[in-house]
């Protein structure tokens, strides 16, 4: 007889964002744009920007503390920390190790996942599988980004989009019928040229990349938009249908907060009304791997997630990477 899979559930959530707000009106003083132009194309009104002396791990640490408190755990209870990020404190050690140090989580293993904006869903999928295998019991997963550090503030096509912040979740073995129903992750490396930050690796090593602006986000906006809609739509419909649900049974959709037009297109494909789609891109912009956990924490704090609700997470990022998760709360 096949042994029963150990389900995992989210027992704590947290988020942390900078106090500094950068509005569209302030951006219009930096580049040739306007509040109306940005809002009509992206839905973004403002974004949060970290101070120069702050780090990705600091925001991850703050979000983690909130999640641990909600879960009723101490840092020493953790046995694994996974951080989705493309803006690490350093190339190495991992940002997860820096967060481990700040927490004092001396009993945990720690590593980063680079899946761009799908980083939190990739981390969730890994953590769920490790709990199912009986390898770990108390796992902290995070999406943490300071995208302002790799944004070209003279490039109107990208600087209007991005912001900073972190979100966290604690996963433990489920004690009942709640938990992660299923996760789904995919990638297509053939499209890596459409969304990238070339500098800092072996192609453009440190010291060379700055000469050609290779240390900033580079994006082919139209192509990214098209693939994001298709891939997020595919990930969302596939996980719903293959697990025997319909769009009507989804209580809340929490998509990656990249662009209001992408979010609306995915919701339309799912035939889910706007009131069941959580949106905060207007206030935070695109925070990459942090966007889904920040939104998840906010939705919980606002009382939008109740017991037995079926929640769908779906994201898409550079790589290309994409994925989805169904969670019964």
47-65 pLDDT, tens digit each: 999 999 999 999 999 999 9
- 183: tokens are 């996760």
Quote the CA–CA distance of 315 and 317 in Å, as a whole number.
7
Q: Measured in whole angstroms, how far is the alpha carbon of residue 141 from the centre of its chain? A: 10
Place of tokens 């640490």: 61
Torsion of CA 66, 69, 73, 74, to 10 degrees: 80
**Sheet with 179-187, edge to edge strand ranges:** 179-187, 321-328, 310-317, 252-255
Residue 159 bears catalytic tag = no
Q: Identify any residues that bridge with 174 across adjacent strands, giving them in sequence order.
A: none
Q: Enumerate the domain spans of the chain.
A: 8-176, 180-328
Q: At 1, is the pLDDT very low, low, confident or very high (cuts 50, 70, 90)?
A: very low
Task: Say if residues 192 and 253 touch (Cβ distance below 8 Å).
Answer: no
Cα dihedral 43, 32, 220, 122, rounded to 10, equals -50
SS3 content of the chain, % helix, strand, coil (to 5): 40, 25, 35
Burial of 241 (0-12, 13-18, 19+ CB in 10 A): exposed
The pLDDT assigned to 175 comes to: 81
Q: Is 313 exposed, middle or buried (0-12, 13-18, 19+ CB in 10 A)?
A: buried
pLDDT digits (tens, 9 = 90+) for 124-182: 999 999 999 999 999 999 999 999 999 999 999 999 999 999 999 999 999 888 999 99
> Distance (Å, rounded) from C-alpha 218 to C-alpha 195?
6
Mean pLDDT of the chain, nearest integer:
95
pLDDT tens, residue by residue, 177-216? 899 999 999 999 999 999 999 998 998 888 765 556 789 9
DSSP helix/strand/coil, 302: coil
Query: Please, which residues have CB within 8 angstroms of residue 281's CB and are 6 or more apart in sequence?
Result: 42, 43, 44, 257, 258, 259, 260, 263, 291
286 is catalytic: yes
29-33, 194-198, 209-213, 325-329: the lowest-pLDDT one: 209-213
Which pair of structure tokens corresponds to residue 259? Answer: 């662009």
CB 73 within 8 A of CB 14: no
* 252: its two tokens: 């809340």
Residue of 117, 159, 215, 231 marked catalytic: 117
pLDDT of residue 206: 81
Q: Residue 327: what pLDDT? A: 98
- The percentage of the chain sitting over the pLDDT mark of 70, rounded to a whole number, equals 97
- pLDDT over threshold 80, residue 2: no
Residue 288 has pLDDT above 50, yes or no: yes
Whole-angstrom distance, CA of residue 227 vs CA of residue 158: 17
Confidence band of 305 (pLDDT split at 50, 70, 90): very high
Which residue from 227, 273, 262, 265 is spatially nearest to 42, judged by alpha carbons?
262
**pTM of the predicted protein model:** 0.96
117: buried, middle or exposed (CB in 10 Å: 19+, 13-18, 0-12)? buried
Q: How many CA atoms lie within 13 A of 200 on its CB side?
A: 14
State the pLDDT at residue 207: 74
Architecture of the domain whose range is 180-328: 3-Layer(aba) Sandwich (3.40)
Catalytic residue from among 24, 138, 259, 286 = 286
- A 10 A CB-CB count for 113 gives 25
- Determine which one of 61, 227, 256, 297 is catalytic: 256
CB 44 within 8 A of CB 203: no
8-176 and 180-328 have identical folds: yes
What dotted CATH number matches 8-176? Answer: 3.40.47.10
Find residue 252's DSSP bridge partners.
311
Q: Is the pLDDT of residue 237 over 50?
A: yes
User: Which residue is associated with the tokens 């150990």?
Assistant: 6
Dihedral of the CA atoms 299, 329, 231, 265 (nearest 10)?
-50
Is 211 a catalytic site residue?
no
């Amino acid at each position: 007889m096949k042994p029963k899979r150990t389900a995992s559930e989210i027992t704590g959530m947290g988020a942390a964002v900078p106090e500094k707000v950068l509005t569209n009106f302030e951006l219009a003083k930096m580049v040739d744009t306007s509040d109306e132009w940005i809002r009509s194309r992206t839905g973004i009104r403002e974004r949060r920007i970290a101070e120069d002396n702050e780090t990705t791990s600091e925001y991850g640490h703050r979000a983690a503390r909130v999640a641990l408190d909600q879960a009723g755990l101490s840092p020493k209870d953790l046995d694994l920390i996974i951080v989705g990020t493309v803006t690490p404190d350093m190339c190495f050690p991992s940002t997860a190790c820096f967060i481990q140090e700040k927490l004092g989580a001396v009993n945990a293993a720690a590593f980063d996942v680079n899946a761009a904006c799908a980083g939190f869903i990739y981390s969730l999928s890994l953590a769920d599988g490790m709990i199912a295998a009986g390898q770990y019991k108390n796992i902290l997963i995070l999406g943490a980004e300071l995208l302002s550090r790799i944004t070209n503030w003279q490039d109107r096509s990208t600087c209007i989009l991005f912001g900073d912040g972190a979100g966290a979740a604690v996963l433990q073995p489920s004690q009942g019928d709640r938990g992660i129903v299923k996760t789904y992750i995919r990638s297509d490396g053939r499209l890596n040229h459409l969304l990238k930050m070339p500098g800092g690796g072996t192609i453009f090593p440190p010291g060379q990349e700055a000469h050609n602006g290779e240390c900033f986000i580079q994006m082919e906006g139209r192509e990214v938009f098209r693939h994001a809609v298709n891939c997020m739509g595919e990930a969302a419909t596939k996980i719903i249908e293959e697990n025997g649900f319909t769009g009507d049974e989804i209580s809340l959709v929490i998509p990656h907060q990249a662009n209001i037009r992408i979010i609306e297109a995915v919701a339309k494909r799912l035939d889910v009304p706007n009131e069941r789609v959580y949106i905060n891109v207007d206030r935070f912009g695109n925070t990459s791997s942090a966007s889904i956990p920040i939104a998840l924490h906010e939705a919980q704090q606002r009382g939008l997630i109740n017991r037995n609700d079926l929640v769908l997470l779906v994201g898409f990022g550079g790589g290309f990477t994409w994925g989805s998760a169904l969670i019964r709360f």
